[in-house]
Amino acid sequence: MDFTRSIEAVVPGVQGRILGVLAETTAELNLRTVARLADVSAAQASRVLPELVELGLVERREAPPSALFRLVREHVAASCVLALADVREQLVVEMGHIADTLPVVPVSVIIFGSFARGEADRFSDIDTVLVRPADLEESDEDWAASVDRWRELVGRASGNRVEVLEVPEHVIERRLRSGRGVWREIRQDGIVVAGSGLGELEIAHV
């Protein structure tokens, strides 16, 4: 999934770009503003907006010398458009649900990298830290099954490849406090989708 342009990823072209702009605001916008924000020409916007108005998905109000447009959020199709605009947040929630269903529930699940920064496109990986419970070895079959299931289900939910960094519970505090390389990034931008928060992990073994 392209999480930077989620509406356009599913509704390609000018129509998707314009819907993406209108979904981001409840304000009325004139045609030139819509075109500028959508990065399309005024001619393209003037062709697509009337079609959306005819569908009832966009409302047009005359305000001489121009007309103003806004998304009709009460329209049944608007809920789909708005859901696409909110797809990154929905995936965060879904990842929390997935973590709770694993054969072994990790101590913590942390998402980092481009997804955590809000920059993930369809070529981006979903980078994950899975913190393994202290009483389990890396070779534990249930734990290995949990890691594989995480990759599979998050991959299906997102359409993106899932990369996993496995860390045992007893070393996570030291890694986070090291401030080196990827751990600095995780500490700054990481999103905890399940289990213990970053602050709890940093003091867990102090």
pLDDT in tens, 52-102: 999 999 999 999 988 999 999 999 999 999 999 999 999 999 999 999 999
- How confident is the model at residue 204, as a pLDDT? 55
193, 111 contact by CB (below 8 A): yes
What percent of the chain lies above the pLDDT cut of 90? Answer: 79
Domain boundaries, the chain: 6-83, 87-203
Helices (H) and strands (E) in the chain, counts: 11, 7
- Residue 206 reports pLDDT greater than 50: no
What is this structure's pTM?
0.81
The stretch 142-150 carries a mean pLDDT of 96
The residues, any chain, with a CB within 8 Å of residue 197's CB and separated by 6 or more, are 108
Please give the full DSSP string across 94-122, using - where no structure is assigned: HHHHHHHHSSS--SEEEEETHHHHT---T
Give φ, ψ of 162 to 5 degrees. Answer: -115, 125
Residue 61's SS3 state is strand
CA distance 73 to 75: 5
Cα-only R_g, the chain: 22
CA distance 20 to 116: 21
Give φ, ψ of 194 to 5 degrees. Answer: -160, 150
Residue 57's SS3 state is coil
With helix as H, strand as E and coil as C, how does 184-196 read?
A: HHHHHHCEEEEEC
Architecture of domain 6-83: Orthogonal Bundle (1.10)
Residue 41 structure tokens: 């020409």
What is the average pLDDT score of the chain?
A: 93
Architecture of domain 87-203: 2-Layer Sandwich (3.30)
List, for residues 160-198, the tens digit of each pLDDT value.
999 999 999 988 888 888 878 889 999 989 999 999 888
CA distance 130 to 144: 11
